Structures are given as structure tokens and as C-alpha cells.
Chains A and B, each alone.
Chain A
Amino acid sequence: DTEVTQTPKHLVMGMTNKKSLKCEQHMGHRAMYWYKQKAKKPPELMFVYSYEKLSINESVPSRFSPECPNSSLLNLHLHALQPEDSALYLCASSHWTSGGKDTQYFGPGTRLTVL
């Protein structure tokens, strides 16, 4: 079972709104990731949580606020976004296993449109 779920599938929000993206995995993985993907571009890493602690923040603007309530859940809180933040937001998870055996499994993504 390699399922990572994301809600909502689509989200339209205004620049003054506050919204949240949710990601969930039940594979016993200890690391979770947020990626941003613009059209016709590869995914770009935003944040990594390992063992529920923020491990990597790729200099993401503060209008994006991640939260990892437990090892199965990952949220991305959105506030005061700009139209250029419109993108596909992908969540991924992995075991965080050493020895080069770690593989990231991705969810279906949330398509975000900022008006």
C-alpha cells in the first residue's frame, strides 16, 4: 500500500483568505514533504518533516506555514497568498531510512488557484 491522500483536490482562494491543505499517510512513514509544482515544471521542495520535526525549509515565504501534528498528518496553512502561488501542491512521504533505501511516495496533489 503506497497511498498518500490529499484534500482538497482543488482549492480557489482570494488573496485575503486563510486556508489549509491536508495530507495523510498510513504507511508508517516517518518523513513527510511538501512540494510546489508550476505548470510544465518539475516539483520544487518546500518543506520536510522527519519524526514530526521540521528538517528542511527551502526558504519558503512565511505566508506558507507547515504543521505536522503527528507522523501520519501534514498540513500546509495558507495566508495572504499571491496569484503567482497558484500551482499544484504535492505531498509525499518516506520511511526516512538510512542506507540509501529511502523512496518518496507522492499523493495526487491539490490544485490551488489564487485570485
Chain B
Amino acid sequence: AQKVTQAQTEISVVEKEDVTLDCVYETRDTTYYLFWYKQPPSGELVFLIRRNSFDEQNEISGRYSWNFQKSTSSFNFTITASQVVDSAVYFCALSVNPQGGKLIFGQGTELSVKP
């Protein structure tokens, strides 16, 4: 069975601080796909990144960066110089289906960035 654990339920930071959201996954499949989504108070899930298990390269996109480590089954997400607009619930998700199908979500981390 697959499982995603986001141990941090809530995080509160002050604007301009860096913050890392942790994600640990479990699967016996050798090929799998990891995702991060952002859910602002409006409710829509916004896709941030997809990472395939065979691609361990870390990625940076503006103030966002992701650290994928197969050795520790982690796919952590860092926001540099956080802003109030980053306040949202962030979900890490796992899929073992190469062609769509079920996403297994973590419980989510609620990030609050205060001015």
C-alpha cells in the first residue's frame, strides 16, 4: 500500500523567512510519481510540481525549490523569502499509475505567513 506523511500540520512564519515543508512517502513500487499542490483559501488545488522516481534531480522555480531524496523517501518543499500570498494548505501526493489514476494525498500542511 502507498502512504504519504506530512508531519507538520501547521507552520507559521513571518514574511521573508525561509520555510521547508516535509513530505515522506511509502511505496513498494519502483516507479512512482510525486506531486505538490497548493490550496489557497479559495479552495482550488494548484499544481506546483511533478517528479518521477527515476528523476532525482532537484528543482528550483523562482522562490520555490524541491529536494527529492529516494534514500530517505522524502520530497521536501522549500519556500525562500516567504510572502503573505504563500499562505495556503500544501499537499504532497503520490501516484503509482503511469497513466493518470488515483492520487494519494498527505494530510496537508497549513502554512501561515504573517506580515
Contacts A41-B107, A42-B106, A42-B107; A102 near B100 (Cβ below 8 A): yes
Contacts A88-B43, A90-B45, A109-B43; A104 near B100 (Cβ below 8 A): yes
The proximity string for B residues 14-58 relative to A, scoring 1 for CB distances below 8 Å and 0 otherwise, is 000000000000000001010101000011111100101000000
- Contact among B42, B50, B98 with A108 in the assembled complex (CB-CB below 8 Å): B42
Bound Cα distance A103, B46 (Å): 11
| CB-based contact A42/B47 at 8 Å | no
Bound Cα distance A98, B105 (Å): 21
Inter-chain contact total with CB atoms closer than 8 Å: 68
Bound Cα distance A42, B9 (Å): 12
Contacts A42-B105, A108-B42; A97 near B47 (Cβ below 8 A): no
Instruction: Kindly list chain B residues whose C-beta atoms are within 8 Å of the C-beta of A100.
Output: 31, 33, 52, 98
Instruction: Kindly list chain B residues whose C-beta atoms are within 8 Å of the C-beta of A58.
Output: 102
- Contact among A41, A45, A101, A107 with B102 in the assembled complex (CB-CB below 8 Å): A45
Distance from A90 Cβ to chain B, minimum over Cβ atoms (Å): 7
Q: Does A111 belong to the interface (CB within 8 Å)?
A: yes
Bound Cα distance A108, B33 (Å): 24
**Residues of B69-92 contacting chain A, CB below 8 A:** 91
Q: Does B61 belong to the interface (CB within 8 Å)?
A: no
Number of interface residues, chain A, beta carbon within 8 A:
31
| CB-based contact B103/A104 at 8 Å | yes
The proximity string for B residues 91-102 relative to A, scoring 1 for CB distances below 8 Å and 0 otherwise, is 100010111111
Where the two chains meet, the residues of A that have a C-beta atom closer than 8 Å to any C-beta of B are: 2, 31, 41-43, 45, 48, 50, 55-56, 58, 88, 90, 92, 94-109, 111
Where the two chains meet, the residues of B that have a C-beta atom closer than 8 Å to any C-beta of A are: 31, 33, 35, 37, 42-47, 50, 52, 91, 95, 97-103, 105-108
Other A-B contacts than A50-B100, A95-B100, A96-B100, 11 sampled, CB-CB below 8 A, are: A42-B91, A42-B105, A42-B107, A48-B102, A100-B31, A100-B98, A101-B50, A102-B97, A103-B47, A105-B47, A106-B47
